[in-house]
Amino acid sequence: MAYKPVKKAVFPVAGLGTRFLPATKVMPKEMLPINDRPLIQHVFEEAREAGIEEFIFVTGRYKEMLEQHFDFQPELEDVLESRNKQDMLEKVRDSEIPAGKLFLTRQPRPLGLGHAVWCAKKLVGDDPFAVLLPDDIVRHGTGCLKQMVEAYEQHGGNIVAVRDVPKADTSKYGILDIASDDGKNVKVKGLVEKPAPEKAPSTLSIIGRYILQPEVFEHLSAFETGAGGEIQLTDAMAKLIGKQPFHGLRFDGQHYDCGSRLGFIEANIAYMMNDKGIGAQVRKVVKAYAAQEK
């Protein structure tokens, strides 16, 4: 069966990034670099690889730098071209989003992830869509969202990327209640937002990658608050279960939670060590510091 293709993606980027203050006092946290490119570019490239054609940014105040990063920069390109820096020029051009493909909407108040996604309702329309949280980076030869699109083409409905977490950490995540599990694809019978460990139905947690049907907006539009007094995306998704197919995908790749300082540092080390230009030198530096600690 052919399902309507996923060509739109929503990027909730209105957060303040308080965990990284004072670095994020002026600069959006999504512009913090992982190796040679900012967080937001990593997830943009992942979405582009998966066939996404329309990129919807849900922004807040003082987020203009995000738009500028993906815009045409003629002065910079002229300088690079005049200096024959073709490799740098290609990187700059590769980071541009073509005209008519970048859309911006605002989340004026921090009312939760569900509310941020709801803010994109009119831009998404009646199409299936992806949601990518820039805090989450997955390193693999095939991007996480592309893996999810392949699963969507088999199952349709709604797909979330999932990974196992320690039982003690279930209160930090949306957790799956599992109907069946073949080791890769998980049929979902329920979702619980940030359950206490003793009440968690499993240890499979959702990371910041979703493919959703537009009917989720019907439930988000009720503006019901959940955990933390916020409008939770997990609560709205849970209401689709039983009405539409709903699966979790155990994706291939290493996940980094770049919303935490430790995860951000870990991601930088991993990407730098595998950088063709500086990887060997970075590995030597890491080994030298590890030897000092011993």
Would you give per-residue pLDDT tens digits along the chain (294 residues)? 779 999 999 999 998 888 999 999 989 999 999 999 999 999 999 999 999 999 999 998 888 899 999 999 999 999 999 999 999 999 999 999 999 999 999 999 889 999 999 999 999 999 999 999 999 999 999 999 999 999 999 999 999 999 999 999 999 888 999 999 998 999 999 998 889 999 999 999 999 999 999 999 999 998 888 877 889 899 999 999 999 999 999 999 999 999 999 999 999 999 999 999 999 999 999 999 889 877
SS3 132: strand
Query: Which range of residues forms the domain containing residue 270?
Result: 265-294
pLDDT at 164: 93
Residues 293 and 227 in one domain: no
pLDDT at 225: 85
pLDDT at 61: 84
The CATH number that applies at residue 235 is 3.90.550.10
Residues 247 and 292 in one domain: no
Residues 157 and 285 in one domain: no
Residue 132 and residue 9 in contact, taking contact as beta carbons nearer than 8 Å? yes
C-beta neighbour count of 78 within 10 angstroms: 11
pLDDT at 230: 87
pTM above 0.85, yes or no: yes
pLDDT at 110: 87
Domain-embedded: residue 161: yes
Domain-embedded: residue 3: no
Domain-embedded: residue 142: yes
Angle formed by the axes of helices 144-155 and 39-49, nearest 10°: 40
Number of domains in the chain: 2
pLDDT at 193: 86
- Which of these, 8, 145, 148, 119, lies nearest to 59 by C-alpha position? 119
Domain-embedded: residue 177: yes
SS3 40: helix
Residues 277 and 230 in one domain: no
Residues 176 and 288 in one domain: no
Domain-embedded: residue 21: yes
Residues 291 and 150 in one domain: no
Residues 142 and 286 in one domain: no
Residues 42 and 120 in one domain: yes
Domain-embedded: residue 19: yes
Q: Over the range 6-29, which residues count as b (16 or more CB within 10 Å of their CB) and which as e? A: bebbbbbbbbebeebeeebeeebb
C-beta neighbour count of 103 within 10 angstroms: 17
Residues 286 and 232 in one domain: no
Domain-embedded: residue 132: yes
pLDDT at 160: 97
Give the Cα-Cα-Cα angle 23, 110, 68 (nearest 5 degrees): 50
Residues 149 and 19 in one domain: yes
Residues 100 and 14 in one domain: yes
Question: pLDDT (tens digit, 9 = 90+) per residue, 16-72?
Answer: 888 999 999 989 999 999 999 999 999 999 999 999 999 999 998 888 899 999 999
Residues 171 and 51 in one domain: yes
Domain-embedded: residue 2: no
